[in-house]
Amino acid sequence: MENLTSSVEKNISIEREFRTKDFFLQWEWLLLLIFFLIHIINSQLSPYYLNTYTLLDATMTFLDKAFIALPMALVIIFGDIDISVASTVALSSVIMAVAYNAGLPMVLAILLCLFIGLLCGLINGLLIVKFKELSAVIVTLSTMTLYRGIAYIILEDQAAGEFPDWFNFPGWGYIKGIPFILILFALFAVIFLLLLHKTTFGRKVYAIGNNEVASKYSGVKVDKIKVAVFTLAGLMAGVTALFLTSKMGSTRPNIASGYELDVIAMVVLGGVSTSGGKGKIIGVLLAIFIIGFLRYGLGLVNVPDQVILIIVGLLLIVSVMLSNLNKK
């Protein structure tokens, strides 16, 4: 009996040791280290960098695209991808501006912007589940061209805007000294964190990413969940369109060009596996702020955009390589 008790205690001790080891080997710890290193380096590059006002204001330069990274994490956990999000931003923004200039009240134009984003995401989701022989890359590549093309037909490479003064608030406003965009992003981040990690819906997303066929035979309504997630991605692209248009004060059909690559980089750097089934929202959040503050810090010392792109690309490559080593 004593031997049996001793053996059980030994097994429990070994299990705790493995859990402790796994905890400290999590990808998020490395991201946290990179996050602090970037702040240290940036503070050395510019004496104006490391103060509360600068750091809060810096978030206004990159958080608009971060809204799309939250649902994109769910899409990539499926093992799919959505490269039409930037075009969805453009189409939503252009239709909002044209509708307002045609006489629609600004509040209704904003709701129209969100609806167009939602509709684009819904179309993506329906096409992906209806034509299963086509990959999500092919479908969203097609809709990327379609949505951007419609935006160009509407405005013909012209700018549209002349919004009311209060519309500057979403992009540049503060509430008690904190940027409004940061407050709203924090709210959405908590919602997505709970959705993915604390709900049955989130567990089904992981299950589909690990094995879609087995999930289907287990009773998971795969198609409905996929349509819901792609629709969510479209809706959040509409939110990005709202903030980006507010910041710029006008819009053009080429608005948000390249956003899809930035968003995918944020999600992959955050530790979400492109093969599906793995990833956490907290990692994506760290990656968003790493890339955002890195870009902002380098911009303060007038590093050219092309060099910043190279640095971000190298950071992404190194991170993916380290992530793969960690899995081995």
**Residue 11 in contact with residue 3, Cβ under 8 Å?**
no
* Residues 294-320, mean pLDDT to the nearest whole number: 80
Rounded to whole angstroms, the maximal C-alpha distance in the chain is: 84
In order of start, what are the domains of the chain with their CATH numbers? Answer: 51-326 (1.10.3470)
The pLDDT score that the predictor gives to residue 12 is: 55
pLDDT in tens, 113-133: 999 999 999 999 999 999 988
Nearest to 270 by CA among 8, 28, 4: 28
Gap between the Cα atoms of 3 and 14, Å rounded:
16
Q: How confident is the model at residue 98 (pLDDT cuts 50, 70, 90)?
A: very high
Query: Over 60: is that where the pLDDT of 275 sits?
Result: yes
Higher-pLDDT residue of 321, 88:
88
The pLDDT score that the predictor gives to residue 262 is: 86
pLDDT in tens, 219-272: 999 999 999 999 999 999 999 999 999 999 999 999 998 898 889 889 988 989
* Residues 274-298, mean pLDDT to the nearest whole number: 90
How much of the chain exceeds pLDDT 90, in percent? 63
Q: What are phi and psi of 255, to 5 degrees?
A: -60, 145
How much of the chain exceeds pLDDT 70, in percent? 90
Query: Over 80: is that where the pLDDT of 19 sits?
Result: no
Gap between the Cα atoms of 274 and 308, Å rounded:
24
If DSSP states are collapsed to H, E and C, what string results for the chain? CHHHHHHHHHHHHHHHHHHHHHHHCCHHHHHHHHHHHHHHHHHHHCCCCCCHHHHHHHHCCCHHHHHHHHHHHHHHHCCCCCCCHHHHHHHHHHHHHHHHHCCCCHHHHHHHHHHHHHHHHHHHHHHHHHCCCCCHHHHHHHHHHHHHHHHHHHHCCCCEECCCHHHHHHHHCEECCEEHHHHHHHHHHHHHHHHHHCCHHHHHHHHHHHCHHHHHHCCCCHHHHHHHHHHHHHHHHHHHHHHHHHHHCEECCCCCCCHHHHHHHHHHHCCCCCCCCCCCHHHHHHHHHHHHHHHHHHHHCCCCHHHHHHHHHHHHHHHHHHHHHHHC
Gap between the Cα atoms of 174 and 218, Å rounded:
48
The pLDDT score that the predictor gives to residue 50 is: 80
Least confident among 21-25, 120-124, 142-146, 316-320:
21-25
The pLDDT score that the predictor gives to residue 54 is: 85
CA distances from 285 to 63, 121, 193, 230, 312 (A): 11, 22, 10, 20, 16
Higher-pLDDT residue of 8, 184:
184
The pLDDT score that the predictor gives to residue 22 is: 62
The pLDDT score that the predictor gives to residue 3 is: 59
Give CA torsion, residues 185, 187, 189, 191, to 10 deg.
-150
* Residues 69-87, mean pLDDT to the nearest whole number: 94
The pLDDT score that the predictor gives to residue 248 is: 93
Give residue 94's identity as a one-letter amino acid code: V
* Residues 69-78, mean pLDDT to the nearest whole number: 95
**Residue 247 in contact with residue 64, Cβ under 8 Å?**
yes
Query: Over 70: is that where the pLDDT of 319 sits?
Result: no
Angle between helices 259-269 and 63-77 (to 10 degrees): 60
The pLDDT score that the predictor gives to residue 24 is: 56
The encoded tokens of residue 326 equal: 């960690």
Gap between the Cα atoms of 265 and 145, Å rounded:
21
